[in-house]
Amino acid sequence: MANRWKNDLTLDDVTPRQAFLNRRQIMAGMAGVTVGAIAGPAFAQELEPNSYEDITSYNNYYEFGTDKGDPARYASALTTKPWSIKIDGLVDRPGDYSFDQIMEGMTVEQRIYRFRCVEAWSMVVPWDGFELKDLLDRAGVQSDAKYVAFETAYRPDEMRGVAYPVLDWPYREGLRLDEAMHPLTMMATGIYGKTIPNQNGAPIRLVVPWKYGFKSIKSIVRITLTDTQPKTSWNMANAREYGFYSNVNPEVDHPRWTQATERKIGGGLFAKRQPTLMFNGYEKEVADLYRDMDLSKFI
């Protein structure tokens, strides 16, 4: 399959050489996976590689605790087999789809994306997955649909963090339909060619690389097509600080910190902060989605 997007990130920008001494060995274990080049413009020389350990040990997944290490410590309690996603609302073929049914016939690609948290830290992650558009097309989006709502699993017996009212559980997120159908928007099922770990959103999560990380909802169990803007967890918790769109924008600060710069995970406590790029570096690909919007108002 030909690459559809150009980029100047390579696997070496993400993977430490000691963890990637023989790329062919890794590729041999990725049957059916196409290595994509969808990463948008970048200053590769300024990127420091993120190790698999960095990516899987430093997470926000409040269902398992609010400390960055809690998901890696406690998310193993989440049962991911069997797994299904309910797809409902304004679709032609609603139903409960098993993970195997969802993956059947999907073209899985590896895409190297920047990941920018609203807390002003960042990573570069090689995700494995498929375009969300492919799944929505399979469900048959009806003409009245304008938004896509997502919901995370809610399992108090397995998710120790939901015992605390940090948010109104279950976790919910949403996108405008054109955002959801954009080629950069993907459903991730792996990292580095391996099955995605529980702490990173197993078995299937959303990845929207030009938005702050909390928009990329983990461990999805429901997708609903709707004609009204869905409620989203952080926006419900504090609308002044967390807008519905939550596009990465260095010109609009969080009320409690600047968004003009970011800290790259893996660089150490005293690493120099780097400038944040508009739309997290994907401005060329996605700016047209918001060309008539005041981005200081529609945050």
| 119 has binding-site annotation | no
Is 111 annotated in a binding site? The answer is: no
Nearest residue to 97 via CA among 144, 145, 134:
134
To the question of whether residue 50 is assigned a binding role by annotation, the answer is no
198 is in an annotated binding site: no
Any bridge partners for residue 127, and if so which?
111, 191
- Is 205 flagged in the annotation as binding? yes
Question: Taking a C-beta distance cutoff of 8 angstroms, is the pair 109, 136 a contact?
Answer: no
Tell whether residue 117 is among the known ligand binding residues.
yes
Q: Tokens standing for 58?
A: 């430093």
22 is in an annotated binding site: no
* H/E segment holding residue 115: strand 108-116
Query: Could you write out the DSSP letters of every residue in 241-293?
Result: TS-SS-B--TTS-BTTB-SSEEEETTS-TTPPPEEPPGGGGTHHHHGGGGTTS
By the 10 Å C-beta count (0-12 exposed, 13-18 middle, 19+ buried), 21 is classed as exposed
63 is in an annotated binding site: yes
Binding residues: 59, 62-63, 117, 152, 200, 205, 216-218
Binding residues for Mo-molybdopterin: 59, 62-63, 117, 152, 200, 205, 216-218
